[in-house]
Structure 1
Amino acid sequence: MTDDLGRREQKKLATRRALADAALRLCVEKGFDQVTVEQITHEAGVSLRTFFNYFSGKEDAVVAGDAATAEALVAAFARRPTGEPVLTALHAAITEVLPAHIDRTQANQRRALRRIPALLPHQLAAFAAYEQQLAEAVAGRMNTDTDTDPYPATLAAAVLACLRVAVQRWLDASSSADRPSLAKSVDAMLTLLAEGFDTR
């Protein structure tokens, strides 16, 4: 029974990712306004009904790739040893997740699509949800409550901001020769955070 449940969950995740990848790819190729949900489902090889089991519209599908990264980060954080300091555990979790979930081509595509006004509310809602998920994971590890203790939410927001800055710097490098690895960029940002930005 457990194996069956595990396989079903993996199939659901694969379907969700296929739809998100198809939505992103088509919107980049054709332009956001020119893409329909029907085209996305055809590209992903699923039915319209299946699409709406996962997303309310194409806007949510386009921003869903970041959700998969956030979910993987929370899961990796939960697996870290219980005695490990919170920021150290988050740093290790990000390092684990990056290779499989941050693709340079897709990251550039997502950044281009973020300039579309119709997507802004969906992006803001998604980012808020990611921060909340991570804050709750931090609170659980610390045996505290996000309603009464501001530390988990503050740390989650700061860590995700560091990750966004690291990805942006990685994407903005003019050439591969000038481009630091994403892992090194993340290390630099999180080191600044750990030091409290008081070294200058």
Structure 2
Amino acid sequence: MTQEDEAGLGLRERKKRETRVALSRATIALCVRRGWDDVTVEDIAAAANVSVRTFRNYFSGKAEAIADGHLERMTRIADSLRAREADEPLWDSIVHAVLARFVPRDESGAEAPPDQRWADGLRLMLAEPALQGEVAKANAAAQEALTLAIAERTGTDPARDVYPRLVAAVVGAGSAVAVEYCLRADPPASLEPVLREVFDRLAAGLPTP
């Protein structure tokens, strides 16, 4: 394969990834705002400016599209871990990578203020039974991606060492706990300080308060 062929393949793969992300984001936004039952595949395709056939080429339905958003975010975190300086402490790298993907920012770079209506809609969407199976599959794939990235950073072998799988599981669980805590807070809590507290406690070995 020539360099031109490889460049073309890389561009196609990037465009496909961008389409997946756009469809996933459109699905999440519509389901949060309208409710699960009031969103159709036609609505999602229109919001993403693609055809229904294109949506079907990527996802079997709303649940898979939403779960893919979580997998994409965790895959990006794994990519970020690989890109951080090799001598940076692992948990510092994890915090930077997680915050970059979980915390929404405004134009100034500050965390966007919590939105009660968005939090309520997101909580209802995540409780949708039809979503649970796809989320479980996405979590498994996300944990595998994180495991491989952590193994590379720590020089461990996921086939022989429990450490990278343990850290990947903890990162996933810690992030989920922080998001759920913020969504259930009244009023909704800012995510960044909660994520920082979660990972500070994990890095410290979860000492008893």
TM-score by length of 1: 0.82
CA change 1:193–1:50 in 2 (3 A) is same
CA distances 1:147-177 after superposition (whole Å, capped 9, x unpaired): 221111111111221112222233333237x
Q: Deviations over 1:105-149 (max 9, x none)?
A: 566544321211111111111111111110111112223222221
Which amino acid counterpart does residue 187 of structure 2 have in structure 1? Answer: S
Residue of 140, 146, 164 corresponding to 1:152: 164
Unpaired runs of 5+ residues, structure 1, are: none
Question: How many residues are aligned here?
Answer: 197
> Quick one: distance in 2 between partners of 1:9 and 1:82?
28
What SS does the corresponding residue of 2:160 show, helix, strand or coil?
coil
Aligned to 1:27: 31
Any unmatched runs of 5+ in structure 2?
Answer: 106-110
Contact kept in structure 1, 2:30 and 2:39, CA below 8 Å = yes
Query: How big is the shift at 1:190?
Result: 0.7
Distance 2:103 2:24 in 1: 19
Residue 188 (structure 1) aligned with residue 191 (structure 2): no
Instruction: Name the CA distance, whole Å, in 1 between partners of 2:80 and 2:143.
Output: 15
Residue 53 (structure 1) aligned with residue 53 (structure 2): no
> Taking every aligned residue pair, what percent have the same amino acid on both sides?
36
Q: CA deviation at 1:10?
A: 4.2
Contact 2:156 2:163 in 1 (8 A): no
CA contact under 8 A between 1:138 and 1:152: conserved in structure 2?
yes
Question: Given that residues 35 and 121 in structure 2 are in contact (C-alpha distance below 8 angstroms), is that contact kept between their aligned partners in structure 1?
Answer: no
Supply the distance in 2 between the matched residues of 1:188 and 1:25 (Cα, whole angstroms): 28
What's the TM-score, normalizing by structure 2? 0.79
Residue 138 of structure 2 is matched in structure 1 by 126
Pick which of 107-116 and 94-103 moved more: 94-103
Q: Deviations over 1:67-97 (max 9, x none)?
A: 2211221111111111223222212222333
What one-letter code is carried by the residue in structure 2 that aligns with 1:121?
G
What secondary structure is seen at the aligned counterpart in 2 of 1:70? helix
Using a 3 Å threshold, how does the CA distance of structure 1 residues 175 and 164 change in structure 2: closer, same or farther?
same
Match for residue 127 of structure 2?
115
- What CA RMSD, in Å, does the superposition of the two structures yield over aligned residues? 2.7
8 Å contact from structure 2 (residues 64, 134) kept in 1: yes
Amino acid at match of 1:189: V
Instruction: State whether structure 2 residue 43 is matched by structure 1 residue 39.
Output: yes
Q: Which has the higher contact order (CA 8 A, sep 6+)?
A: 2
